[in-house]
């Protein structure tokens, strides 16, 4: 059954062999050889409500029986219209326009295009650059990668990419300015103003941020006041602010949208991953009325879109996921479960000497691994520590998500722990138990 030559047909370019999955239920996945895995990362921070939820499958079937696909330039559909309305409602109507795509990458790239079009239609066609932070990940295509600071994913394509990631991250564990909050006066946020002035605000369409930095920061979470300052600076220089919630959106941090943890509201928002919790592909770019108004008054066309955009099946699934989250009060649960998981990780930190920092919000928690707790020195990249931890955990039946974080912000080791919102406290105990055995063994291997 588990024929490795068959699996190679779809994974010819990967340097690792992965098991073939058979099925999943709740927080567990099972491979074709019967091995059980606790999904401690919801895949890539995606399977927010767990695997094979019957209520979602039923609604998926209902929609598939009606119609699974219509072309977005010929029809809209009831599920797509209802989903757009629900998302606007969830933002208390701060957002008034939704553009559906299929992946997080397409969502950030569409946000980039919407920002550029906004300024074009306002008669400022030279405003085309989208600034970002040098610890960030916004997607894998050339446009989205141009906005991403993730060094590992950029490096082969650098000559094709724009140098947009030029602003320092709010990385308090290793402050790029060697300051301490709050006496730092948010030097990292203030740097945006300097970069805008240096570049020339007449060239800048937008600034894009993940509310909590995921794949390139192991859940780096800014201090209070940071985003409020970012908002002020963007307003001062006529720069739109895009918040990339592909990873943090739809409840992951204990609020529907993570930007709600702060007082500042963005102009554009991107959603993906948890929007359908992985049941089918769908993502979205969401905009305020004022972002869209010049387009409505001008060409009346957002120049983006894909054949499968806004398809009824994925929209119905995303609605079913939202219903499930709301009917089971899962966002409220994220806060308390996250606090329980955080406390358990804190006690694990006492048992080993390689966890330098634990951070994040709700059920999006990150561990930064260091060689020396006092100096915070990272492990040499040749140790490939993140991969080793991920692999050992998987061998033991625990799935984790890798992240870059560390001394120079690009080469260090980070792990994201982000189980489905449905995880029970017993399952959290099991998760931390498996993680503890993994970390203790890794530390021994490192000579600790
Ligand atoms: N933006 C963020 C914040 C992400 O974490 C990711 C994926 O990890 C993306 C965008 C890209 O999403 P996708 O992999 O669905 O293209």
CB of 415 closer than 8 Å to CB of 400: yes
* Interior angle at CA 352, CA 361 and CA 182, nearest 5: 40
* Interior angle at CA 352, CA 347 and CA 354, nearest 5: 115
Give the up-direction half-sphere exposure of residue 270: CA atoms within 13 A in the CB hemisphere. 31
Question: CA quadruple 341, 344, 345, 346: dihedral positive or negative?
Answer: positive
**217 Cα: distance to centroid of ligand 1 (angstroms):** 13
CATH of residue 179's domain is 3.40.640.10
- 321 and 191 part of one domain: yes
Residue of 136, 138, 209 with the most ligand 1 atoms within 8 Å of its CB, for mutation: 138
- 293 and 378 part of one domain: no
Residues 224-245 have pLDDT tens digits of 999 999 999 999 999 999 999 9
How high is the pLDDT of residue 410? Answer: 66
CB of 275 closer than 8 Å to CB of 283: yes
Structure tokens at 121: 């239609």
- 43 and 81 part of one domain: no
Beta bridge partners of 224: none
How high is the pLDDT of residue 447? Answer: 84
- 98 and 135 part of one domain: yes
How high is the pLDDT of residue 16? Answer: 65
**262 Cα: distance to centroid of ligand 1 (angstroms):** 22
- 79 and 98 part of one domain: yes
How high is the pLDDT of residue 51? Answer: 98
- 37 and 181 part of one domain: no
Given 293, 327, 361, the domain boundary residue is: 327
DSSP code at position 178: S
Of ligand 1's listed atoms, the one at least distance from the Cα of 136 is 3
Of ligand 1's listed atoms, the one at least distance from the Cα of 281 is 15
Q: Distance between CA 319 and CA 284 in Å, rounded?
A: 13
Q: Distance between CA 196 and CA 191 in Å, rounded?
A: 9
How high is the pLDDT of residue 299? Answer: 84
* Cα 379 to Cα 375, 383, 413, distances in angstroms: 12, 7, 8
Of ligand 1's listed atoms, the one at least distance from the Cα of 104 is 12
CB of 139 closer than 8 Å to CB of 109: yes
What stretch of H or E contains 348? helix 330-351
Of ligand 1's listed atoms, the one at least distance from the Cα of 44 is 8
**247 Cα: distance to centroid of ligand 1 (angstroms):** 7
Q: Distance between CA 387 and CA 9 in Å, rounded?
A: 23
**441 Cα: distance to centroid of ligand 1 (angstroms):** 31
How high is the pLDDT of residue 406? Answer: 80
Residue 161 burial by CB count (10 A; 0-12/13-18/19+): exposed, middle or buried? middle
- 281 and 217 part of one domain: yes
How many domains does the chain fold into? 2
Which residues line the pocket of ligand 1, CB cutoff 6 A?
Answer: 44, 103-105, 108, 137-140, 210, 214-215, 244, 246-247, 272
Q: Which DSSP string do the residues of 66-131 spell out, in sequence order?
A: H-S---TTT---HHHHHHHHHHHHHTTTS--EEEEESSHHHHHHHHHHHHHHHHHHTT-TT--EEE
**20 Cα: distance to centroid of ligand 1 (angstroms):** 23
- 135 and 184 part of one domain: yes
CATH of residue 417's domain is 3.90.1150.10
Of ligand 1's listed atoms, the one at least distance from the Cα of 103 is 15
State the CB neighbour count (10 A cutoff) for residue 94: 16
How high is the pLDDT of residue 6? Answer: 66
**245 Cα: distance to centroid of ligand 1 (angstroms):** 9
- 253 and 381 part of one domain: no
State the CB neighbour count (10 A cutoff) for residue 159: 5
Q: Percent of the chain having pLDDT more than 70?
A: 95
Residue span of the structural domain in which 42 resides: 4-53+330-445
- 43 and 67 part of one domain: no
Identify the residue whose C-alpha is closest to ligand 1 atom 1.
138
How high is the pLDDT of residue 15? Answer: 56
Residues of the chain with pLDDT under 70: 1-16, 408-410, 448
Given 327, 345, 368, the domain boundary residue is: 327
Given 287, 304, 327, the domain boundary residue is: 327
* Cα 359 to Cα 10, 17, 189, 222, distances in angstroms: 36, 31, 19, 10
Residue 372 three-state SS: coil
Nearest to 230 by CA among 288, 167, 137: 167
State the CB neighbour count (10 A cutoff) for residue 298: 14
- 186 and 269 part of one domain: yes
**279 Cα: distance to centroid of ligand 1 (angstroms):** 16
How high is the pLDDT of residue 10? Answer: 65
Nearest to 375 by CA among 351, 345, 404, 407: 407
CB of 95 closer than 8 Å to CB of 288: yes
- 27 and 122 part of one domain: no
């Amino acid at each position: 059954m588990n024929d490795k030559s068959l699996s190679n047909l779809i994974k010819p370019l990967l340097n690792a062999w992965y098991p073939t999955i058979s099925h999943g239920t709740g927080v567990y996945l099972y491979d074709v050889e019967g091995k059980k895995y606790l999904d401690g990362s919801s895949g890539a921070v995606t399977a927010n409500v767990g695997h094979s939820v019957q209520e979602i499958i039923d609604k998926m079937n209902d929609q598939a029986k009606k119609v699974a696909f219509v072309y977005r330039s010929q029809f809209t559909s009831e599920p797509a219209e209802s989903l757009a309305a629900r998302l606007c409602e969830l933002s208390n109507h701060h957002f008034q326009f939704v553009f559906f795509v299929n992946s997080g990458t397409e969502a950030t790239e569409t946000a980039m295009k919407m920002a550029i079009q906004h300024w074009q239609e306002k008669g400022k066609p030279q405003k085309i650059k989208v600034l970002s932070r040098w610890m960030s990940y916004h997607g894998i295509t050339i446009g989205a990668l141009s906005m991403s600071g993730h060094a590992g994913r950029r490096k082969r394509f650098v000559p094709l990419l724009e140098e947009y990631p030029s602003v320092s991250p709010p990385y308090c564990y290793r402050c790029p300015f060697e300051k301490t909050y709050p006496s730092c006066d948010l030097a990292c946020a203030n740097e945006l103003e300097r970069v805008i002035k240096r570049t020339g605000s007449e060239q800048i369409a937008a600034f894009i941020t993940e509310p909590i930095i995921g794949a390139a920061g192991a859940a780096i979470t800014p201090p209070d006041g940071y985003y409020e300052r970012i908002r002020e600076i963007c307003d001062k220089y006529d720069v739109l602010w895009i918040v990339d919630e592909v990873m943090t959106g739809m409840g992951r941090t204990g609020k529907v949208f993570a930007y709600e943890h702060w007082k500042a509201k963005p102009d554009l928002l991107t959603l993906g991953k948890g929007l359908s919790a992985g049941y089918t592909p769908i993502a979205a770019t969401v905009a305020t009325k004022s972002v869209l108004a010049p387009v409505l008054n001008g060409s009346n066309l957002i120049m983006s879109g894909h054949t499968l955009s806004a398809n009824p099946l994925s929209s119905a699934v995303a609605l079913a996921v939202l219903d499930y989250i709301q009917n089971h009060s899962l966002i409220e649960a994220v806060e308390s479960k996250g606090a329980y998981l955080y406390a358990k990780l804190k006690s694990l930190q006492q048992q080993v000497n390689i966890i330098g920092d634990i951070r994040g919000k709700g059920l999006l928690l990150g561990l930064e691994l260091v060689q020396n707790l006092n100096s915070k020195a990272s492990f040499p990249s040749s140790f490939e520590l993140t991969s080793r931890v991920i692999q050992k955990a998987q061998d033991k039946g625990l799935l984790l998500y890798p992240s870059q974080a560390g001394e120079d912000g690009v080469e260090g080791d980070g792990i994201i722990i982000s189980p489905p919102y449905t995880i029970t406290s017993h399952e959290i105990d099991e998760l931390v138990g498996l993680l503890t055995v993994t970390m203790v063994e890794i530390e021994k291997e490192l000579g600790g």
